[in-house]
Structure 1
């Protein structure tokens, strides 16, 4: 079945839960406004299951109700992994055979973003989800610049380290800051380095659309749940092609 509807109590009943914040203090009128918004969005009937005032002028709501919308899963566009997952030993072997030096990786959170959990999970030895980070790979030289790194500093460090790949994490997304920062970074690397000397540009974060890589000027976007092994496997695939898959 490629056409589906949300599931709540019984298959295909269309029941869905929605949360949002309105810039109004919590009272009966605010609750009515929340239900009106849910109805306008196609939830009928809509039930208010939670309301809590946040500060003096905002209220957080959770509503639950039936929607009639259908989703055709056959028409969904996603970025599928187009390379095999390799173990650390295989990744190290490919790098050693092809480069005869360590693969240089520079990582950072750029702009005002101070959330290093994501970049640390990929780069630090401790890693995430039972996988060790790229610092564990003996054929990689990893430079973790940390948080709130300016784009010029990132470019200069990548040039100094002769980076093969630059990994950037962006968690702050207010006013599309992650998109603006990524475009600025890609433009800076294009201006600073000729095409043959530019490193792979890879960005990651929970709010990125993985289909936007070309639009943002980067080589790859990784979303939430990405592990170090996926990134390491992508690096050897992107840099060495088919040989990175053997």
Structure 2
């Protein structure tokens, strides 16, 4: 290949790649336009609208356009502000937590459990504390599943015990012991005042106190507001975020089962 052709090919490749530095997009590429919403603890009037624009300016949105303002009762106002920011995003500094295990089909999951455990894998799931939102845990456990995938109840080599909502941590620990659970799945949707963080760390501590070292079931937490990579800080084995499918959870459990068996050798 000639030098000229090689240089042209390299330039084409470079041009088709995403740039390292980008800005938000609104009307035209790189215009920096963003839309944000927030609530201020003041009644809705002209002063409140001025306060919203002041906040937007301090956030770096300038010029800012107030596109929506609505009273939320007598003492609060909800705002939507649209405007331009000068901030750049450096894609080279973005940290992505990559999945460390392959996605398996239901058939592959069943085969792996049967060959490695020679019994059913026992999974106990619940929403703990005062969290009454079972949509997340049901999407993973119930046979109807989520996003076109059937839940763990569909897998013939998995025994599912779904305790439902508002389960106290001591009750979860006791049931996990009774069922001889291999894994405990906890869903947390309510996040006010970091309730999901508190509940998860409390649950983790309770299991580690109730079980001998090395005998604690896999502890898995899921919910839309958990930070990626925060499992260690929360004392659990894994965190699943929004959009997680039953197949991902089943594949993870098989992956950890294989890893656990390898370490036991």
Equivalent in the alignment of 1:83: 101
Query: Which secondary structure does the structure 1 equivalent of 2:57 belong to?
Result: helix
Compute the displacement of 1:210 (Å). 1.6
The whole-number CA distance in structure 2 between the counterparts of 1:195 and 1:74 is 40
Q: TM-score, normalised by structure 2?
A: 0.90
Instruction: Show CA shifts across 1:149-185 (max 9, x none).
Output: 0110011111111111100000111110100111101
Q: State how 1:10-89 maps to structure 2 within 5 Å.
A: 10-89=28-107
CA distance, structure 2, for counterparts of residue 233 and residue 107 of structure 1: 17
Q: 1:231 aligns with which of 236, 240, 249?
A: 249
SS of 2:230's equivalent in the other structure is helix
Q: How big is the shift at 1:188?
A: 0.5
Measured on the aligned residues, the alpha-carbon RMSD in Å equals 1.3
TM-score, normalised to structure 1's length?
0.97
2:206 to 157, 175, 188: 188
Please state how far the C-alpha of 1:242 moved relative to its aligned partner: 10
Given that 1:108 and 1:149 are in contact with CA atoms closer than 8 Å, whether structure 2 keeps it comes out as yes
> Which residue in 1 is equivalent to 2:220?
202
Q: Give the CA deviation at 1:93.
A: 0.1
Cα deviation code 1:102-142 (max 9, x no counterpart) = 00000000000000000000000000111000000000000
What CA deviation, in whole Å up to 9, does each residue of 1:63-104 have, x standing for no partner?
000011111122112321111110000000000001010000
Counterpart position of 2:240? 222
**CA distance in structure 2 between the aligned counterparts of 1:165 and 1:174, rounded to whole angstroms:** 27
Higher Cα radius of gyration = 2
Which residue of 2 is the match for residue 174 of structure 1?
A: 192
Judging changes above 3 Å, is the alpha-carbon distance between structure 1 residues 243 and 158 closer, same or farther for their aligned structure 2 residues?
closer
Check the 8 A contact 1:42/1:68 in 2, yes or no. Answer: yes
CA distance in 1, matches of 2:150, 2:78: 38
Query: How far apart, CA to CA, are the structure 2 residues paired with 1:23 and 1:126?
Result: 42
Structure 2: gaps spanning 5 or more residues: 1-18
Could you say which residue in structure 1 is the equivalent of 2:231? 213
Runs of 4+ deviating beyond 2 Å: 241-244
> Using the alignment, how far apart are the partners of 1:73 and 1:124 within structure 2?
38
Equivalences, count: 244
1-side partners of 2:162 and 2:173: how far apart? Answer: 13
Contact 1:116 1:146 in 2 (8 A): yes
| Maintained 8 Å contact 1:126/1:133 | yes
